[in-house]
Amino acid sequence: MTVDFLDDDESLEGYARTVARAFVDYPFMFRVFKDTPGSKEDWIYELAIRSAKARHASGGRTLVVRADGKIVAGANVAVPISPGMEVSPAWFEEFLHEAGPTAHDFFTRFIAVVESVELPQPNVYLVMIGVDPNFQGQGVGKMLIEKVMDMAREVPDCKGVGLDTEDEVNVRIYERCGFKVTAERQIDDLPVYVMWRSME
């Protein structure tokens, strides 16, 4: 298996399909898209595509893991914004409008909760990481995380890498990769764990 950066639109689609398969049963996505018409997997795919494009426009990167040429995992990574660059929220507002009021309300509350946790700056943030269910438990996620740490080492004065998860099982996985829970919050009945791995 190899880890590299997303390099073309075809790979972007492969990344988004993989992430959609990985997240289709994820508790957070269930709550976001529970009242949205159509396939939940298709909505997650669309979110992954638009999010990756927006991150790329602001200097972020998307990593993919390939096995025999097929994308089996991916990670969307936010980096500190360079002077003169900015992330436009327009794509996200448009997406939430299309997804409906339940998705809009839940995502808005989720972002407020995550942003209420102050992490050391500057940092790299692991926005989304997903592994094809057929490749889970094989160290693929750890490969991606180590590549994200390599990216963070290239950011001047970077203090570390942050992420959030809404699944307690994932907390244990991330802890084995060197992350620690820095804050635990709640949205309705859904726990939100904000985690941090220092560069030190």
Count how many domains the chain has. 1
Average of per-residue pLDDT across 27-32: 94
Q: What angle do CA 197, 62, 136 make, to 5 degrees?
A: 70
| % of residues, the chain, pLDDT over 90 | 86
Q: What angle do CA 99, 164, 156 make, to 5 degrees?
A: 115
pTM (two decimals): 0.93
3-state secondary structure of 154: coil
Please report, for the domain that includes residue 32, its CATH number. 3.40.630.30
3-state secondary structure of 137: coil
Q: Give the pLDDT band (50/70/90) at residue 89.
A: confident
Residue 111: pLDDT over 70: yes
Residue 182: pLDDT over 80: yes
126-173: pLDDT as tens digits: 999 999 999 999 999 999 999 999 999 999 999 999 999 999 999 999
Question: Do residues 145 and 126 make contact, with C-beta atoms less than 8 angstroms apart?
Answer: yes
Q: Give the pLDDT band (50/70/90) at residue 108.
A: very high
Task: Write the CB contacts of 91 (distance below 8 Å, at least 6 apart in sequence).
Answer: 50, 53, 54
Q: What is the pLDDT of residue 85?
A: 47
Q: What is the pLDDT of residue 126?
A: 96
Q: Are strands 61-67 and 2-5 parallel, antiparallel or unpaired?
A: antiparallel
Domain that holds residue 50: 2-80+88-198
Average of per-residue pLDDT across 98-102: 96
Q: What is the pLDDT of residue 87?
A: 54
Q: What is the pLDDT of residue 82?
A: 54
Q: What is the pLDDT of residue 174?
A: 97
**Alpha-carbon separation of residue 81 from 58, 125, 155, 194 (angstroms):** 6, 12, 11, 21
